[in-house]
Structures are given as structure tokens and as C-alpha cells.
């Protein structure tokens, strides 16, 4: 597909990187000529110097032939206007990044309809919900929901002295009454789609799929459950902090926000009357202690500086805060955070990239099925996808054991009439099902792509 990206900042560049890997024809537009030159040197894309509201610039980029037009500049208004003009000039699908809470909370639906937007995206709001899901189940480092909370994939990190070390996956499933499937394992920099003979080791990050009730049953049996975080300290008064605080306060949690910008603190006090907003430098350890760091159930570092988030999160972890969540946008810093024991990482940039890639793949579906959801797991080294199964799918009613799947592909779940099935070789795929697939080293557009 031909995809035009307006705005080559951090989010724009992450989108360009992901979409180029998906083999799309990408055109990048930015008003900074040096940035366009840099993008051209790094990626195989067409770069256009100019602004996304200039009709001549959009014509030069080929907007009339664009399958998708995405505007992610730093201005909501610029993004909306760019998409409106692009739609008028012939772009098939338009997506705008809209971050301001005034738009998101009051009239977003009206704006989308009037501007003809296919979608609006708010990475900070998405990230806030990701963080909240983990705070509800702190044993996990990452959670994704596939079907109105009937089926989830969660990631856990096994401690070095974990009793599961040396245990084969097939033996673990025999020992447990919970119905679950370990569908991916990350060991160091290597990611595996395991079979039953795979032996777990301490330090592994594992991804498992199951219904939420089965996940809780498994965690209790493994004695690794932690209570839901109710007292939460947030460093940095960012947009993500605002959205997260609003969700937490609505759920009855206690929230402390620390920010060194007095104007931002005043805004948060007015917008979040139930929160405890502290004006101060969260890098000062004494301030964190004075504000009760040692009594918190969770610490979430959401400043705009990755290095600061990592260092202060490490300090919180060394003070035995039960759950520490760290915002890290630069992928090269993720291994460093992991070496410091920081295993729960959030990245608004990666979140928005996943959303756009999922939308692009859904547009390219074949007759037999289509991608409904797509999540990057295992630090982006594998994918979890949910496909809708249409009656035309060729492998309906054939036992899974009789289908030859490609290497590093696993059917991790089948959703049928609101029932979650952890599949065995005797299970079949039926028309109307939703199928969860775990994939490594493959780009899947259609469920048929998993068959060898």
C-alpha cells in the first residue's frame, strides 16, 4: 500500500520504520529539511520537504493515490486539517494524532465525523490503559486483551530461583488445573515459540494465553500473585500521567503525582481534584522518601527523558516498591533497563506504531480472514494477532494436528461464542471463530498465511 506520513518526529519515525519493514510504499513529509534528509538516508522512502496542509506538497507526495494518510505532527489542529485536505484530494483512509484532552473528552466523535477521519489516535491514552491493566495484575509485566476481557495474553518474568526453572512446558501443564498455554519465551536476546518439550529457566520472560480467571488460578498456584496496586506514585505530569491518574482515581486508588513545573502542577490540581499533586524534582531521593515512596504499591516514571525514568525507577525498585513501571521510548535503552531489573516498560511511540500497523494489515485482508487485533510482544520480537474467520477459509473443521503450520507459528487461542478455548491438536477452526496466532519472523496479513 501507499502510505503518507506527515511529521517525522519520534512517533513519525517509529511509524516509518515499522511500515517500511511491512514492505509498504512510504512517503514522508516534514517541514524540517534536515529531518527529511536524515529519513532519506536511513529508510527506503520518498521524502518531501514541506508542510502537510500545503496542497502542492500533498500533490507532490501523490496524495490522490494514497491508501492511507497519517498525520502525527506536534499540533492536533495541524493533524486534523492535514487529514481533511488529504481526504478532499483523494486519500482513501486518514488518521490523525489528537492528544489534547479537550478534544478527546468532549467532541472527538463529532470531529472525526465532520473531518472524515478513519481513526484518531492518542498514544498517551493508549499507554495509560496499558499501565492500568498491569497495575491491576502486578505479577505481569505486560497484558493485552483480545476479547472484552474473556481472553488475555500476559507476560511474566521468572525469577532466577523460580521453582519453574528446569520444568518442561508439558509437565507444567500436567501439574496445573488451570487451562493456559505458554506461547512465547524470551531468553536474553533470543525469542522462542516453544513446544511441550521446551524447558524453562530462571530469568526467562514467558508469554501465556488464557481466560483471566484461569490466569489468576495459575498465578495463585505458582504463588506469584501480588495484590492490585492501590497507592500509586507517578513521576512526571505528562499527558499519560493525566489519563492514568483519571483512570486510577475512578477505580478508587490513591494517586500522588510529582512534577517540577509549577504551571503543570496547577493544571493537574484543577483537572484531578482527587490526586495529591506535588511540586518538586522527582530526581531528588529525599523528596521521594518524604512523599511516601516506601509505602507505595507502585511507582510509575513518565517523564519525557528516558534516562531519568530508568534511573529513578531503579531507585524505586531498590527501595522495595512492589511494582515499578518505566516509560522508555528509545528501543536501545530497553536492554539497559532490563539489566537493572526493570521489566515493565511502556512506550507510547511503540503503542501508536502497533495501532497503525494493525490497521494497515486489516486493510489488506484476503477473503478467508482478516486481522482484527495485533500486538507486539516479547519486546517487539514476536506478534500476537487475532483473526476473524470467514466461511471461505480453506482449513475450517480440520483438526489442528492435521494442518502443517509454518515454523515459529502457534495457534494460542480460539474464541467461539464468547467461550475461550486453549487449543489442542484435536480442536478445529470454525467459521465465525476468532483465532489468536503467535508469530515470529513472519508478516501475517491473513490466517491462511500461517499454513506451510
Judged by DSSP in three states, 290 sits in helix
What secondary structure does DSSP assign to 417-444, as a single string? TTEEE---TT-B--TT-EEEEEESS---
DSSP letter, residue 265: H
Q: What's the helix, strand, coil split of the chain in %, to 5?
A: 35, 25, 35
The reported pLDDT for the residue numbered 366 is 46
Question: What is the separation of C-alpha 443 from the centre of its chain, rounded to a whole number of angstroms?
Answer: 17
Asked if residue 361 lies in contact with residue 442, where contact means CB atoms within 8 angstroms, the answer is: no
Given this model, what pLDDT does residue 368 score?
45
**Residues 147, 22: Cα–Cα separation, whole Å:** 26
Sequence-ordered list of residues with C-beta below 8 angstroms from that of 59, at least 6 positions apart, any chain: 89
For the chain, which domains are there?
A: 2-121 (3.40.50.720), 140-221 (3.30.70.1450), 231-321 (3.40.50.720), 366-450 (3.30.70.1450)
Spatial separation of the C-alpha atoms in residues 452 and 406, rounded to whole Å: 5
pLDDT of the residue at 160: 85
Q: Residue 178 region, left (φ>0) first, then alpha (ψ -120 to 50), else beta?
A: beta
Residue 421, Cα to own-chain centre: how many angstroms? 24
Cell 494493525, located at residue: 358
pLDDT at site 60: 96
322: helix, strand or coil: coil
pLDDT value of residue 360: 86
Q: How far apart are CA 164 and CA 240, in angstroms?
A: 36
- Three cell numbers at 302? 513518565
The β-bridge relationship of strands 409-416 and 419-421 is antiparallel
DSSP structural state of residue 178: S
Per-run averaged pLDDT (10 residues), the chain, 452 residues? 95 93 94 96 96 96 96 95 96 93 77 88 90 92 79 90 88 90 92 93 93 90 84 96 96 97 96 96 93 96 95 95 94 87 88 85 62 84 90 92 94 90 93 93 88 88
CA trace torsion 386, 391, 393, 399 (10° rounding): 80
Residue with cell 523528596: 287
Amino acid at each position: 500500500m501507499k502510505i503518507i506520513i506527515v511529521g517525522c518526529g519520534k512517533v513519525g519515525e517509529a511509524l516509518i520504520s515499522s511500515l517500511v519493514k511491512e514492505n509498504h510504499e512510504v512517503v514522508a513529509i516534514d517541514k524540517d529539511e534536515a529531518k527529511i534528509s536524515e529519513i532519506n538516508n536511513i529508510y527506503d522512502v520518498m521524502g518531501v520537504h514541506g508542510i502537510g496542509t500545503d496542497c502542492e506538497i500533498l500533490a507532490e507526495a501523490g496524495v490522490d493515490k494514497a491508501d492511507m494518510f497519517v498525520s502525527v505532527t506536534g499540533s492536533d489542529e495541524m493533524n486534523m486539517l492535514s487529514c481533511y485536505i488529504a481526504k478532499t484530494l483523494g486519500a482513501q483512509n486518514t488518521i490523525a494524532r489528537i492528544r489534547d484532552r479537550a478534544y478527546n473528552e468532549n467532541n472527538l466523535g463529532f470531529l472525526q465525523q465532520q473531518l472524515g477521519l478513519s481513526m484518531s489516535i492518542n498514544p498517551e491514552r493508549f499507554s495509560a490503559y496499558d499501565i492500568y491493566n498491569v497495575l491491576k495484575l502486578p505479577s505481569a509485566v505486560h497484558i493485552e486483551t483480545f476479547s472484552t476481557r474473556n481472553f488475555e495474553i500476559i507476560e511474566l518474568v521468572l525469577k532466577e530461583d523460580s521453582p519453574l526453572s528446569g520444568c518442561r512446558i508439558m509437565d507444567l501443564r500436567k501439574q496445573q488445573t488451570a487451562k493456559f498455554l505458554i506461547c512465547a519465551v524470551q531468553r536474553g536476546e533470543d525469542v522462542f515459540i516453544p513446544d511441550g518439550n521446551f524447558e524453562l529457566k530462571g530469568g526467562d520472560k514467558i508469554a501465556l494465553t488464557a481466560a483471566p480467571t484461569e490466569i489468576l488460578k495459575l498465578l495463585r498456584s505458582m504463588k506469584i500473585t501480588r495484590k492490585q496496586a492501590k497507592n500509586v506514585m507517578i513521576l512526571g505530569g505528562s499527558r499519560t500521567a493525566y489519563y492514568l491518574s483519571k483512570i486510577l482515581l475512578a477505580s478508587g486508588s490513591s494517586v500522588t503525582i510529582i512534577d517540577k513545573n509549577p504551571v503543570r502542577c496547577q493544571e493537574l490540581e484543577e483537572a484531578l481534584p482527587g490526586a495529591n499533586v506535588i511540586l518538586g524534582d522527582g530526581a531528588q531521593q529525599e523528596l521521594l522518601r518524604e512523599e511516601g515512596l516506601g509505602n507505595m504499591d507502585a511507582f510509575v516514571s513518565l517523564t519525557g527523558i528516558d534516562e531519568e525514568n530508568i534511573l529513578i525507577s531503579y531507585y524505586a525498585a531498590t527501595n522495595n516498591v512492589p511494582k515499578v513501571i518505566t516509560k522508555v521510548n528509545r528501543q536501545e535503552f530497553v536492554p539497559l533497563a532490563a539489566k537493572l531489573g526493570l521489566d515493565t516498560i511502556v512506550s507510547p511511540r511503540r503503542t501508536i506504531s502497533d495501532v497503525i500497523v494493525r490497521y494497515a494489515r486489516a486493510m489488506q485482508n484476503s477473503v478467508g480472514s482478516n486481522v482484527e487485533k495485533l500486538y507486539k510482544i516479547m519486546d517487539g520480537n514476536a506478534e500476537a494477532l487475532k483473526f476473524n474467520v470467514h466461511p471461505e477459509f480453506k482449513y475450517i473443521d480440520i483438526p489442528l494436528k492435521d494442518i502443517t503450520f509454518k515454523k515459529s507459528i502457534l495457534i494460542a487461542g480460539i474464541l467461539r461464542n464468547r467461550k475461550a478455548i486453549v487449543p489442542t491438536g484435536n480442536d478445529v477452526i470454525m467459521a465465525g471463530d476468532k483465532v489468536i496466532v503467535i508469530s515470529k519472523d513472519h508478516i501475517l496479513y491473513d490466517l491462511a498465511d500461517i499454513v506451510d
